[in-house]
Amino acid sequence: MAENDPKTKAKGLRLSAQRVDGLISRIEAALPYVNEAATQELKLCDTETEATIKAESLDAENLRAGEPLLPGTGDLAWKTLFDAARSFSVGSAYPSEAFPHVCSGAKCLLCQQPLNQDAANRMQRFDEFLKQETAKLAMVKRQQRAIADQKLAKASLAFGLEEALIEELKQLDPTVLQCVQDFEKQVETRRTWLRASLNNTHDWDNPSPLDCDPLESLKEIVKTLLDQARDLEDAGDENQRKVLEVERAELRARFSLSARSEAVQDLVRRMKIKAALIKCKDDLKTKAISDKAKEFASQ
């Protein structure tokens, strides 16, 4: 009511609400990457991947048990080497032959010496090993885990707390500002922990905390700003302004009266007593009785 230009003030409040609402949207966009649901999903992905890797390692041990082979044969580095040999064979060395090409005259793809029968048999055995479901599943799970890690690494989790927004929040509620800043750090720390669990520790028992979520407080700030804006917009309307002025005058009168309510109530009580006494005084007059007595006497 005291604003010289309430509509301009209301517009400013709505813009402020929009900026805070934008911050809310950025926080809500970041949370699905690091919240409890995301943590459980990544944990499941990692657990399944590790299980298939262990099964794959067991198969590799069985592969090496059949004959003396180099340490690590059947493991990931060896598979990478074998897959590279496959690509070289079908793409360049023997493009018209199925892999592995072990017929007469075929050469080792690495040392390029002629393959003897033992080497040819070993190549076919290695190829059969890689065609097993365990090896295929392990490869798929590794890829899924790598994709999940890349997605998390590339995710934009920053809240976009520019200096102007920081100053604005400081004016609106410094406690909420501190909560937002702390929560942004917690979100980034959670991402670091998730990636470490995926790639190194595989330990999911002690997640970093996310315990100062400011969303509800920010939403309350937005609601307050919009309520204030609506009040100012109503005050800017001439008809509504008159209604509000009447309401304000009534509220002021009630407030002024409230300070003297006991005195007023005491005055009302005394006035009621006075009125009752006056009525009693009228009832005590004897003229009517005397007149009635004279009337009886004259009969």
CA dist., res. 227 & res. 216, Å (int): 16
Tell me which residue of 153, 109, 146, 102 sits closest to 125, measured CA to CA: 102
Exposed, middle or buried, 172 (CB in 10 Å: 0-12/13-18/19+)?
Answer: middle
Tell me which residue of 79, 75, 49, 50 sits closest to 62, measured CA to CA: 75
Phi, psi of 114 (to 5 degrees): -60, 140
Tell me: cis bond preceding 100? Omega within 30 of 0 counts. yes
Q: How confident is the model over 175-218, as pLDDT tens digits?
A: 999 999 999 999 999 999 999 999 999 999 999 999 999 999 99
Q: What is the DSSP string of 163-226?
A: HHHHHHHHHH-HHHHHHHHHHHHHHHHHHHHHHHIIIII---SSPPP-----HHHHHHHHHHHH
* C-alpha atoms less than 13 angstroms from C-alpha of 105 in its C-beta half-sphere: 3
Q: How confident is the model over 50-93, as pLDDT tens digits?
A: 999 999 888 888 878 777 888 888 888 888 899 999 999 999 99
CA dist., res. 55 & res. 134, Å (int): 7
pLDDT reported for residue 217 = 97
**Per-chain mean pLDDT for the chain:** 88
Q: How confident is the model over 99-145, as pLDDT tens digits?
A: 999 888 889 998 999 989 888 888 888 888 878 878 889 989 999 99
Lowest mean pLDDT among 147-161, 185-199, 244-258: 244-258
* The pair of three-digit structure tokens given for residue 216, joined into one six-digit string: 């509800």
pLDDT reported for residue 283 = 64
Angle between helices 117-130 and 76-88 (to 10 degrees): 110
Question: What's this model's pTM, rounded to 2 decimal places?
Answer: 0.65
